[in-house]
Amino acid sequence: MTHYRIPQHGQGSGVTGDDVAAVTAVLTSGRHLSDGSEVTAFEAEFAAYTGAPHAVAVSSCTMALELATRILGLGPGDEVITTPLTFQATAAPLLERDVTVRFADIDDHTLCLDPAAVERAIGPRTRAVFTTHYGGLCGGIERLRAVTREAGVTLVEDCAHALGAAAGGRSAGTFGDLGCWSFHSLKNISTLGQGGMITTADAGYAARLRDLRAINPDADFVPRPDGPDATGRPRLVTHEKNAYTHDCVRLRSGGLNAQLAEPAAAMGRSQLRRLDRLVARRRALAERVDAHLRTVPGIRVVETPPGYRHAHHLHTFLLEDPAVPRDALARELERRGIEVVLRYFPVHLLPEWRGRARVTAAVPVAERVWFGQLVNLPLSPQLTDADADFLAGSVESALTALRRGAVVS
């Protein structure tokens, strides 16, 4: 195992005594550990934080994206536009569905979907756009919202990186029809390692999502024409609901067990209270590193546009010296004790997507950025100012050494 001076921390928010106390209180309460008051309170508090009318807690962001895809009812003939520069979970719900997936290019200043590229990709069969707020910046989201609204296309926001992000004073996850959030261990707040949330302004969507996460089908029912089924069977569990009284006339999707547990929700509530402080610390560290990197020739930092609030889940810079291979710089930073995890290999080039029919991808900017420029540095609130200075200084000295040929491969 490699021991790094500055690793990628496994807990993006850390764990405090308040977190432990909140979880312990639930565990020792004697109450049911699933589907209770902690989840309900977490949903209400998260909705209030983001300004979303509805928030539905689920077991992960991947599950949030799956449920969002299910209620859209995507099927044969439909087209979906998404980004190639994202974790594979963003597009995973589309992989096994009989839809055409169009990967649109990114803006190399924000690393998010380029709204102009999306506008060019929208066609008569386009049903939805799945966007990711890469690194915690919801770049171009206001324009993307306008483009999708004008075209009558559903907008789904993957907000896995965007806890604490905003544009124009409006929270990420409230621009689209559905916002999907992550509370994975690495994220800006966590719910015992895994968890997710879906935000929406659509009360109908929220009700259907609550049914789906609780193993109930997304379906239409009508009363039985001959009255209740008089089988006389005993009532053993609550799952039969309307089985004796109604028939299903339309099944859109089966349900899933996607509920967030009570102890996880308790931790989420505790961490949500300090989210702004956690993001502020991330921002201060990132800006300290970037202030140095802006002075280094051949380096371009990802700037936050005016009016935007960056959540700084990832800390990314771009290498713009063609004489220095990106991979060589990453290896040299690793040699100097910095763990470099590059996020993410372009989704359309993953083997399961390369062999899939009905995929289009003309994304030269995303491929150039990924294969030749993008570098992610460690970033978490646990880092010190001295760590930030070491990161910045190491990038500069590593780049200088590579230019001089002083690095032995």
Pairing of strands 315-319, 170-171: unpaired
DSSP string spanning 45-90? HHHHHHT-SEEEEES-HHHHHHHHHHHHT--TT-EEEE-SSS-GGG
Region of poorest pLDDT, from 188-192, 220-224, 267-271, 352-356 = 220-224
With contact defined as beta carbons under 8 Å apart, do 218 and 208 qualify?
yes
> Is pLDDT at 21 greater than 90 in this prediction?
yes
pLDDT of residue 182: 99
What radius of gyration do the chain's Cα atoms show?
23
Q: What is the pLDDT of residues 96-155, one digit of tens each?
A: 999 999 999 999 999 999 999 999 999 999 999 999 999 999 999 999 999 999 999 999
pLDDT of residue 246: 84
pLDDT of residue 1: 55
Q: Which of 395, 356, 393 is nearest to 376 (CA)?
A: 395
pTM attached to this predicted model? 0.95
- Distance CA(331)–CA(305), nearest Å, equals 31
Pairing of strands 299-301, 246-253: unpaired
DSSP state of 134: G
Average pLDDT value over all residues in the chain? 95
- Distance CA(154)–CA(81), nearest Å, equals 10
Q: Which of 115, 11, 2 is nearest to 378 (CA)?
A: 11
- Averaged over 198-223, what is the pLDDT? 95
> Is pLDDT at 370 greater than 60 in this prediction?
yes
Q: Which of 132, 158, 163 is nearest to 282 (CA)?
A: 163
Query: Which strands make up the sheet holding 166-167, listed edge to edge?
Result: 170-171, 166-167, 308-309
Catalytic positions, please? 187
- Averaged over 225-242, what is the pLDDT? 61
Angle between helices 275-293 and 262-272 (to 10 degrees): 60
- Averaged over 287-302, what is the pLDDT? 99
pLDDT of residue 225: 77
> Is pLDDT at 407 greater than 80 in this prediction?
no
pLDDT of residue 236: 54
- Averaged over 196-202, what is the pLDDT? 99
- Averaged over 82-88, what is the pLDDT? 98
What is the set of domains in the chain, with CATH numbers?
A: 17-215+256-272 (3.40.640.10), 218-253 (no CATH), 275-404 (3.90.1150.10)
pLDDT of residue 224: 80
pLDDT of residue 344: 97
- Averaged over 283-295, what is the pLDDT? 99
